Structure 1
Amino acid sequence: MLLTYKVEIKPTEKQAWQIDCHIGGSRWAYNLFLGINRQRYECGYHYMGAYEFSKWFNHEYLESNPDDRWIKDLYAKSVKQAFIDADSAMKRFFKKQSGFPNWRSFKRGQGSYYFVKNSKTQIIACQRHRIKLPKLGWVRLKEFGYIPTDSEHFVIKQGRINSKLVGIT
């Protein structure tokens, strides 16, 4: 059974800057996916799904656009999840379940930093007052003891950071 906990964090200034960089990178990747697929859709080419787009992005786009290689400094799963989120929004558009996806804007505060447990051996450590996030290290929690850390069956599998809120599953 999956449970979700929403917790507020207290990052240091450096961690807050890193979180903003990751959220900005995810926003940029989401908008790039929408822009490229919109051009392809209007020109009559086939639609590129998230995984196909990710391969194209890593092997062709970044080699021809070296100014965008800064994205490689960010957490790779967060960028890939931005492609997946944009792909699901586009698929809802094609099924006529919603309109064309909106661009993610800095002004509207859209965007998140996604993290995931990669394998059985890698864990996302959590203590009573802090959590260890990929690329950020230990980040303090505002509410002590809210996340059950004493249970042997409790494992953090994934989460999203929206500004200063963490959603953990």
Structure 2
Amino acid sequence: MKKAYKTEILLNEKQQQKVHQTIGVCRYVYNLYLTTAQKHYKDTGKHLSGYDFSKWLNRVHTKQTDFWIKEVSSKAVKKSIMNGDQAFKNFFKGRAKFPKFKKKKHQEVKAYFPKNNPTDLLVERHRIKIPTLGWVQLKEYGYIPSNAKVSSCTVSQKAHRYYLSVLCEVEQKQEVQVPIHDGIGVDLGVTDFATCSHHETFKNINQTQKVKKLEKNLKRQQRKLSRSYELNKHRKRGEFCAKNRQKQLIKVQKLHARLANIRHEYIRSVVNRLVKTKPAHITIEDLNVKGMMKNRHLSKAVAQQNFSYLKEWLIAKCKQNGIELRQVDRFYPSSKLCSCCGHKKVKLSLSERIFRCDNCDAELDRDFNASLNLKYATEYTVLT
């Protein structure tokens, strides 16, 4: 069984320079492949594969120009080319949109390092040996198992921090749990993050003072960064120093990263709480997030909830613990059905937070009623 571990690493100045150089070359080669493939398709009507581009890059292009491509790991360059090739294949098959060029400020490119020699990717308690970088110190001691067989790793940078993701081969240990609850229905929302059928409600972390204070600071720092661009827009080249602007950009990136980490950690804690109750199944609904994002009054609040990350983490944890994860259709009227008698209420506005049944006169909280309907839903698909 293959398992990935991601942790922060501490690099010295020489290693930081090597990582920046490798990531910069990978980004340049990726963008060069996109440009060459688009031009080749317009001229011939055929797709330029990553292998053909790699041959042209090594035999023709690097001998005529861009000699500095050879100064970094060839495996990392080859991996960036194959990532571009896979992006085009996903576009042709309709699985993704048209590939976009990588930008430096987005920090999307990662440096790939495979295991070339038996002495590569040796893991100790506090360090790991990466090809072309040497021994690198781990910030979290003992997180990566020292007895695991590491096949490859990627180094990434985000908000002036460096992260290592390793792919290890570990023994598969499936935990078989005896279910305590018959099932849990989870209704997701904006007012409350999740309302469960076993009388547990998870609040919206974006409404806390800590997150609001960080967002206010982020707004202030973004305004300061934008002002620096506007002041230097009409000046001549060489009349200003970009070091202060780069410092301000790092401040903004750190605030973005901190907010993302707070939200992701909260989602992981919610999923762990749900899994530790040992239910027979967990039922969620297929939300139309794309349609909800079109509402300009709710788009920011919906994006901050990060429902896609919750779904990914739920699938992984339920598979690990042997719990069945169910998903009902997005057109299932979970909020309009009465959980007591099954009567459907035709008109139900968003302002009505208390569900009152017209048939049996039952009064329940709107979200709790929806979670009960999700728990006892009979038409669903099992997510694996």
Paired AA for residue 7 in structure 1: T
Q: Give the aligned partner of residue 58 of structure 1.
A: 58
**What is the Cα deviation at residue 47 of structure 1?**
1.8
Which residues of 2 match residues 104-143 of structure 1 at below 5 A? 104-118=102-116, 121-143=118-140
- Secondary structure of the 1:103 match is coil
Aligned AA for 1:15? Q
The answer to whether the Cα contact below 8 Å between 2:120 and 2:130 also exists between their aligned partners in 1 is: no
For 1:96 and 1:147, the matched residues in 2 are separated by: 37
The answer to whether 1:157 aligns with 2:151 is yes
Q: Percent identity?
A: 36
Matched residue SS, 1:5: strand
Tell me the distance in 2 between the aligned counterparts of 1:118 and 1:55.
21
Distance 1:105 1:162 in 2: 14
Please give the alpha-carbon distance, in whole angstroms, between the structure 2 residues aligned to 1:44 and 1:96: 22
Distance in 2 (CA, whole Å) between partners of 1:61 and 1:96 is 32
Does the CA-based 8 Å contact 2:120-2:129 persist in structure 1?
Answer: no
Structure number with larger C-alpha Rg: 2
**Is the partner of 2:15 in helix, strand or coil?**
helix
For these two proteins, the number of residue pairs brought into alignment is 163
Query: In structure 1, how many angstroms separate the alpha carbons of the residues matched to 2:28 and 2:87?
Result: 16
Tell me the TM-score normalized by structure 2. 0.41
CA drift of 1:83 comes to 0.3
> For structure 1, which runs of at least 5 residues remain unmatched after alignment?
none
1:19-38 equivalence runs, <5 A: 19-38=19-38
CA offsets per residue over residues 116-159 of structure 1, 9 Å max, x none?
0125x45311111111111111111000111111x2xx211001
Q: C-alpha distance in 1, partners of 2:116/2:45? A: 34
Find the residue that maps to 2:97 and give its secondary structure: coil
In 1, the alpha carbon distance for the partners of 2:116 and 2:18 equals: 20
The 5-angstrom pairing of residues 73-84 of structure 1 reads 73-84=71-82
For the residue of structure 1 that corresponds to 2:63, the secondary structure is helix
Per-residue deviation, residues 16-71 of structure 1 (Å, max 9, x unmatched)? 11111111111111111101001111223532211121111101112232xx1111
Do structure 1's residue 47 and structure 2's residue 51 form an aligned pair? Answer: no
Determine whether 1:9 maps to 2:38.
no
Alpha-carbon distance in 2 for matches of 1:64, 1:23: 22
Q: 1:129 to 1:52 in 2, by over 3 A?
A: same
The CA distance in 2 between the partners of 1:14 and 1:44, in whole Å, is 44
| 2:228 matched residue in structure 1 | none
Deviation at 1:96, TM superposition (A): 2.4
> Greater RCO between the two (CA within 8 Å, min separation 6)?
1
State the Cα RMSD in Å: 1.3
Cα distance in structure 2, aligned partners of 1:7 and 1:79: 23
C-alpha distance in structure 2 between counterparts of 1:156 and 1:31, whole Å = 30
- Which letter maps to 1:146? Y
